[in-house]
Amino acid sequence: MLINMSKIDRGLRIIVAFAILILYYTGSISGVSGTVGLVLSAVLLGTVMFGYCPLYTMLGISTCPTKS
């Protein structure tokens, strides 16, 4: 599995994931939207952990800089 995410992309995903988690645990989002938010946070953190986004592969996108 190749890395297809840049450090900036990873950082933004971490910020968004933690923002959703904070909203959930403070009670700002709950119910179905809270559950969807938790799943989205888990997916974002999972892609950050591996540095690989399957959607990027399907779309032919790579934000990772190429080494020359």
32: in domain: yes
Domain count, the chain: 1
> How far is it, in rounded angstroms, from Cα 36 to Cα 60?
26
Has residue 16 been placed in a domain? Answer: yes
Q: What is the pLDDT of residue 68?
A: 46
Q: Tell whether 68 is covered by a domain.
A: no
**Quick check: is 67 in a domain?**
no
Q: Which domain holds residue 19?
A: 7-59
Give domain status of residue 11, yes or no. Answer: yes
1 domain-assigned: no
The number of beta carbons lying within 10 Å of the beta carbon of residue 45 is 15
Phi-psi region of 21 (alpha: psi -120 to 50; beta: other; left: phi over 0): alpha
pTM of the model: 0.85
CB within 8 Å of 36: residues ≥ 6 apart:
none
pLDDT single digits (tens) 6-56: 999 999 999 999 999 999 999 999 999 999 999 999 999 999 999 999 998
